[in-house]
Amino acid sequence: GAVVSQHPSRVICKSGTSVKIECRSLDFQATTMFWYRQFPKQSLMLMATSNEGSKATYEQGVEKDKFLINHASLTLSTLTVTSAHPEDSSFYICSARDTSGTDTQYFGPGTRLTVL
């Protein structure tokens, strides 16, 4: 099956710093990637849709200036959490849409962000 990687898998940072998370589709090209956030014991919450070569589309309530998304190539999207605060601590997961076959989204392994 299609493989999506995320880096880093775990990051701890101080309040006020910025953190960049990378999402890569390893064996297919993805014009569209998605960024999710999962709170403990809850479902996945879509934050934004990342489109290669254009601006991301953010879901209602998600601050685009805080969660910067860049999708510079067909295999890489990045999410930067700017000026992180403890309430940004969460599990962030990306997915990539494989349009070459069944149009299925494949997910990365997730990144655990802890802001002290």
Partner 1 sequence: DQQVKQNSPSLSVQEGRISILNCDYTNSMFDYFLWYKKYPAEGPTFLISISSIKDKNEDGRFTVFLNKSAKHLSLHIVPSQPGDSAVYFCAASGQGAQKLVFGQGTRLTINP
| Binding residues for partner 1 (CB under 8 A) | 1, 4, 6, 32, 34, 42-44, 46, 49, 91, 93-95, 97, 102-110, 112
Contact (CB, 8 A) for 111 and 8: yes
Pairing type for strands 111-115 and 10-13 reads parallel
User: CB 9 → partner 1: shortest distance, Å?
Assistant: 9
User: CB 35 → partner 1: shortest distance, Å?
Assistant: 11
CA angle centred on 88, ends 87 and 92, rounded to 5°: 140
Task: Report DSSP state, residue 59.
Answer: P
Query: Which of 34/67 has CB closer to partner 1?
Result: 34
Query: Which of 74/91 has CB closer to partner 1?
Result: 91
CA angle centred on 78, ends 64 and 37, rounded to 5°: 65
Query: Which of 50/115 has CB closer to partner 1?
Result: 50
Query: Which of 43/54 has CB closer to partner 1?
Result: 43
